[in-house]
Amino acid sequence: MSRKRKSYNRRAGTPSLIAGLTLALIAAVAALFMSHNSSSSSGVNTPTADKNNSISSPQSVVSADESGEKIKSKPVERNGLEIRYLDVGQGDCSLILLPDGKNVLIDAGPDSSADYVVEYLKNEKIDKIDYLIATHPHEDHIGGMDEVINNFEIGRVYAPKIEENGGSTEVSDGEPSASAAVTTKTYEDFLKAVSDKGLKIINGKCGTHVYFSLSLTIDIIAPNSTYYSDINNYSLVVQMKYAQHSFLFMGDAENYSEQEILDGDYDIKANVIKIGHHGSYSASSNTFIEKVDPDYAIISCGKDNRYGHPHAETLKTLEKNEIYVLRTDLRGTITVKSDGINELRVTTDRDDSESFKDESSGTPMDGDSSDRSEETSVESEGEISDESTDNENVESIAA
């Protein structure tokens, strides 16, 4: 705004006017000086956004005591929620960066990807996994878990309690089930790493609360039974809600577990679903997908894997329900960012130019789905608060 010059009568009170202006000028200079000193001495590190509005990697505030030694304080709070579905080949690994600076890791991929997962976490300056979730004892999900435990500070560990089934060797989709899986060296390595670090495994089951804050919750909604003939159905199914956005992580849960979830009358509507069992025909029934009604479906699988994942039946179901499909074998690591209110942004390693918001317009990815013509908008009232309370009512299983 331009400032107009005013002419004053020098005879009519010029000295008092000059005095007033002088005092105002002195006060302004003093206020500016104090403000500069305050901002320069605060020493607070905050996340910054890059040119693509990306949330910065989690950082810990580091200060020094009088002896010069570095002291780590609590992680810096992040600007929203970020989920990374890591490309670990034929396996599963999801890293969740919570707004309050805590970290969740769901599965850790196969043994062959252990070094990659560890290096990825270290590159992101992550030194603690606050919540480590092993969905079930298959190697492609927990193969890298022992290395994660050995290399990072671990908070709580969740895993299903597997009931022995008398040595069953039933095979589902080429994978042994029940007792055959819980006696593998991979599973033993996982248990040993937990024990060596003095940790306890919390029995993950329906009704287990992993995390709670005023705006974000993480709950386990399956398994709903204590015994299954197929170990895939022991998978911990994780539901995360962040204000008005919701996410499902299905592990390898198949149709049987899906039906139990439907029978439990859960509110499973989600914006994003990590498809069960790598897109196998044994999961993602049409009834279940209709109930979830997601905007995006993430499929974690290896390129040209020997199981043929994802199967044509699953892709057809997703196409029928007009869902955007993103696959790690085609897109690499997939990142979803949410502000919990309006924006849900999806980016991929191999095509960073692709970015989607809740309007869900454009061409579906990695599938033959039809274009969505209906726009989805999300509105919210009030502010988001992230004061968290960890669940104390937990049940441990022997490590």
- DSSP for 102-156, written as a single string: -EEEE--B-GGGHHHHHHHHHHTT--EEEEEE--SS-HHHHTTHHHHHHHSEEEE
Q: What angle do CA 217, 222, 228 make, to 5 degrees?
A: 165
Full domain range(s) for residue 306: 81-397
The answer to whether position 192 is within a domain reads yes
127 close to 201: Cβ distance less than 8 angstroms = no
Over residues 139-159, mean pLDDT: 98
Helices H / strands E in the chain, number of each: 10, 20
Task: For residue 218, list its beta bridge partners.
Answer: 211, 240
Counting the structural domains of the chain, the total is 1
Residues 6+ apart with CB under 8 A from 264: 206, 221, 224
Sorting pLDDT into bands at 50, 70 and 90, what band is 26? Answer: low
DSSP alpha helix (H) spans, the chain: 14-41, 114-123, 139-142, 145-151, 179-182, 185-196, 255-263, 286-292, 312-320, 328-331
Which CATH number is 282's domain given?
Answer: 3.60.15.10
For residue 163, the model assigns a pLDDT of 77
d(CA 284, CA 358): 23
The answer to whether position 48 is within a domain reads no
Q: Which of 140 and 381 is assigned the larger pLDDT?
A: 140
pLDDT(212) > 50:
yes
* CB half-sphere exposure, 220, CA atoms < 13 A: 31
Residue 15: cis peptide before it, omega within 30 degrees of 0: no
For residue 184, the model assigns a pLDDT of 86
d(CA 331, CA 176): 29
d(CA 176, CA 195): 25
Closest listed residue to residue 157, CA positions, set 119, 195, 116, 123: 195
The answer to whether position 55 is within a domain reads no
Which residue do the tokens 């979730």 mark? 133
d(CA 63, CA 346): 35
Per-residue DSSP letter, 399:
-
Q: Cα dihedral sign for 39, 40, 42, 44? A: positive
Instruction: State phi, psi for 263 to the nearest 5 degrees.
Output: -65, -25
The answer to whether position 72 is within a domain reads no
The answer to whether position 23 is within a domain reads no
The answer to whether position 4 is within a domain reads no
For residue 279, the model assigns a pLDDT of 97
The answer to whether position 1 is within a domain reads no
d(CA 370, CA 291): 19
* pLDDT 10s digits, 302-325: 999 999 999 999 999 999 999 999
The answer to whether position 24 is within a domain reads no
* pLDDT 10s digits, 37-62: 444 444 333 333 333 333 233 333 33
For residue 78, the model assigns a pLDDT of 85
Q: Which of 21 and 295 is assigned the larger pLDDT?
A: 295
pLDDT(326) > 60:
yes
pTM of the model: 0.72
| Residue 155 burial class via C-beta count within 10 angstroms: exposed 0-12, middle 13-18, buried 19 and up | middle
